[in-house]
Structure 1
């Protein structure tokens, strides 16, 4: 069995050992709960702990992607609601949309979360808002807001009329020859007549 030992810098009677206990790494101080190590000895001991962990699981480590801070517009879950105790815990676990992030909030409630459509009063858990102390990102994508027909048309950009399409096609067909505008229009009319 592999055992790594580090002796305390302050009290030579104290030490800490690391060993394998089934599928876990066991850390055991000799007598006290604190063992003080110089940086070099701490690194050597830490490498020993890592070697034991690698021996147990083969060194498979899944690095977690760093979590970004919640931003306005993100879907968030309330972790801590009002730090002042007003309705403490009532909003914890609810999911909403972050509408404000304040690094300076005298009351400590730097996150404003909107629930539902947000048109309800402040404190309405279904369609209102609430100032919270702590939130976490939610993996689910925020639902896309419903758009009116005119908004969809506006986002789609200008549509080309069928006449313009025929003129473009005629210009492409005549691009290798010098053509007067009248010839392009005549060809566009002929192309349009073929589709009717």
Structure 2
């Protein structure tokens, strides 16, 4: 038989018990071994229970609303059903919430997500077909030619010190190689970016003239390489590119003569 007991905060011997007694709710107040009982009908019991809740709310303001644990915009989710909700997704695919569509009349909750880099429509996927991704996203490897400044002495057991400048020279499965200004090669992982390595784009005092011109930090100085930079920009027009992409392509053009 289900019963509920409330313990007196002053005396450990005193308590109140509530349980069903056929068609009534039995309330019993225990004062030591003595019990006083009352049998009340269901409607009266509900009114009594609501009154107790109201009194408790007057004391502490009531219970806090339960937190909404549903995914929010920006959360990463893993798909658990192939072609979920008639979308072209696979089991294990990681998607990012673009928008939410909750509290629908049919009781279903959906998230919306772009499924491809070129999608302009965010697809609906039910929360029944996704699960939270708890692990952190794997940092991506930097591009060949990217430059970093060391911010921690002896980073990753390499003979480097704060202020050293490194250039990414090779890429591997989950780490990358860098070449220091003294010609030595040192290896790091993406986790070191932001924690020992900071992106380095150069400052005017040690940039070459053509680099300074490219970054707009000085008046343009005509040079042969500047022509290759302009040509590289023209070839890359209409694509998504970064400054180091322009420099690498310009260098390739210069090598070809």
Q: Report the TM-score when normalising by structure 1.
A: 0.34
Q: Report the TM-score when normalising by structure 2.
A: 0.28
Bigger relative contact order, structure 1 or 2 (CA pairs below 8 A, ≥6 apart):
1
Structure with more of its chain in strand, by fraction:
2
